[in-house]
Amino acid sequence: MHPPRHAAGDPMLFDDRLATVLRSGAAGEQAARTQFRQLLDLLGSMPAEATGPLVDAAYRRLGEIGENLAAAEQSRILREPGLRLRNPRLVGQLAQGEPQASAAAMATARLSEDEWNALIPELPMTARGFLRHRRDLPETAKQTLARLGVGDLVLPWPEPAPEEPEQPAPAPAAEAPASGIGALVKRIEAFRKEREGSWAAAVIAPRPPLQDSATPARTEPPRAFDFSTDAAGTIDWAEAPVAPLLVGLRLAARGSGVSGFCDAATELALRRRLPVRGGRADVPGAPLVAGTWSIDAAPYFEEQTGTFRGYRGRMRRPLPAEQASADGASGRMREVLHELRTPVNAIQGFAEIIQQQLFGPAPNAYRALAAAVGVDAARLLAGFDELDRLSRLATDALELSDESCNFLLVVERTLRRLEGVTRPRSARLRLLTSGESFAVRLGEEDSALLAWRLLASLAGALAPGETIELALRGSEAGIELEAELPAGLAAEEDLFSGSPQSRTPAISAGMFGSGFTFRLARAEAEAAGGALTVRDGKAILTLPHLTVAAPGHSHAEGNGSAAA
């Protein structure tokens, strides 16, 4: 008996194909492009009313790929011949993406008259603007766009003037063609009278006119204005004075090649759809909007479905006290670092030119000197990065990653890196572990930096033949790393002071000495919700535990693993 064959529109056939596509990975760029194309084809030809776990998973996967796939690549795929975009739900999701991809989706979508009329009011304003260029839209869809205030900014031709009594013909030299300057002036005047006071609201904002035509235009820069965004974080409405300059800008970075203009804390809140209080935005552009703004905004959702629709809020210029508090020493420090980086980058570039003989042969002695200069420049730039990181952590301008990480693996890997320094000197860092879970709420990269600063500073201070113990304990509350201080550090009155060291360490965790490095490690630990303290001749690092225990390594209490 033969198995039943699926019809072309059978939902089971779509489910089978979606399941096959979703099972395949999208790790690399080529795989992501392929899966993006497959999902577009399947979802685009699927009935609009199709639902189910696989369909929802396919839309989620499409959105995840879209966040990391360049907008130009999405646009190219969307404009490929043979792509079917007949699903209003898919077209609505694509319209929320990057402007370049949204424009391609609006150009290639093929919907029925009823589907267009239902979808257009739900589209972002930028997508409606792209849609107005379609010449094959049904007439009712064009009327819907017109009712929503979407139209071309084209100068209207003036209506013909009433006939006047014949006048003597002017001299031929004074005649001007109908399409000359006089006709252009009439067209501009007709356009001004028609659109005065309402063009900004009609073309840009999906709301009624924002000001009466009799209201004189504001000339002073606003101190505050209201705005709203779509689900992707792109401003789709703002008050009249600033609307032409801000609509279409994205508040937060999202995906590769996309940049926002908010601080890290605000971007994190926007990604998590949390309220924003006192956020900071450095807006580029015209003098009317350029500069620093303070943001207060709240997410809003559809009442019936709970779908996230975007943000509504207000931007205002910071008060002088707020500006001084926010920028202060941190801002001045960044300015100094910027001024220092410029000449150091130039020196490093010239050194590489000589060392690599890019402009012609150079004596070996000069190449050796250039290589040494390049190394020194790289060390200076790394030191500048450390200063910048500490200043941003001190003013909460930098947030560390809150992804999961097994801190035991990070410590063991760091100790293996340090063996090449400690073993020839018969020194040793001995690690003892207890507990079963060492997962922390800190990303892998940030955890590695923190562990390196602490352990490399300890290893660099070890005397030949000296051994210290590290005790790493994992519990439900978090992890605790307790390290004995080497004799050279135990004699220090303040481990976090910036006093110069009495001797050159065997390995350096930073160019500003162990005191600065410990201070930076303490700031990183505090930013992650933990602490770094010194008590009874020991440095104690604590980090909060992840809510879900990390799988893997389990160490019985008292059993130690020696390293370094």
3-class SS at 225?
strand
Q: What's the pLDDT at 38?
A: 85
Q: Tell me what pLDDT residue 20 has.
A: 78
The pLDDT score that the predictor gives to residue 511 is: 76
Token digits for 405?
A: 């990480």
Domain ranges of the chain: 11-147, 224-318, 322-394, 404-563
- The 8-class DSSP code of residue 234 comes to B
Here the tokens at position 30 are 């080529």
DSSP letter string over 172-216? GGG---TTSHHHHHHHHHHHHHHHTTTHHHHHT-SSS-SS-TTSP
The whole-number pLDDT of residue 4 equals 41
Tokens standing for 361?
């042969």
Q: What is d(CA 433, CA 451) in angstroms, rounded to the nearest whole number?
A: 15
Q: 224-318 adopts what CATH topology? A: Beta-Lactamase (3.30.450)
State the DSSP string of 291-321. EEEEEEEEEEE-TTT--EEEEEEEEEPPPHH
pTM to 2 decimal places = 0.42
Q: Is 563 helix (H, G, I), strand (E, B) or coil?
A: strand
**What integer pLDDT is reported at residue 27 of this predicted model?**
65
Provide the b/e sequence for 188-213 (b: ≥16 CB within 10 Å).
Answer: eeebeeebebbbbbbbbbbeeebbee
**How many Å from the N-terminal Cα to the C-terminal Cα in the chain?**
68
Q: How many CB atoms lie within 10 A of CB 325?
A: 11
Q: Which amino acid makes up residue 531?
A: A
Q: Which CATH architecture has domain 404-563?
A: 2-Layer Sandwich (3.30)
Residue 263: how many other CB atoms lie within 10 Å:
22
pLDDT for the residue numbered 191: 62
Locus of tokens 């630990």: 525
Query: pLDDT tens per residue, the chain (564 residues)?
Result: 444 433 334 445 556 677 777 777 666 777 888 888 888 888 888 887 888 888 888 888 888 888 888 888 888 888 887 788 889 988 988 988 888 888 888 888 888 888 888 888 888 877 887 787 787 888 888 888 877 765 544 444 444 444 444 444 444 444 444 445 566 566 666 666 655 544 344 334 444 333 343 444 445 678 888 888 888 888 888 887 788 888 888 887 654 334 457 887 788 888 888 888 888 888 877 778 888 888 989 898 887 788 888 898 889 888 655 445 545 566 677 777 777 888 888 888 888 888 888 888 889 998 999 999 988 888 888 888 888 888 888 777 777 877 888 999 999 999 999 988 888 888 889 999 998 888 888 888 889 999 999 999 899 888 889 999 999 998 877 899 999 998 888 877 778 876 555 556 667 777 778 888 888 899 888 888 889 998 888 999 999 886 544 444 444 333 444 444
Bridge partners (DSSP) listed for residue 185: none
Q: State which amino acid sits at residue 337.
A: L
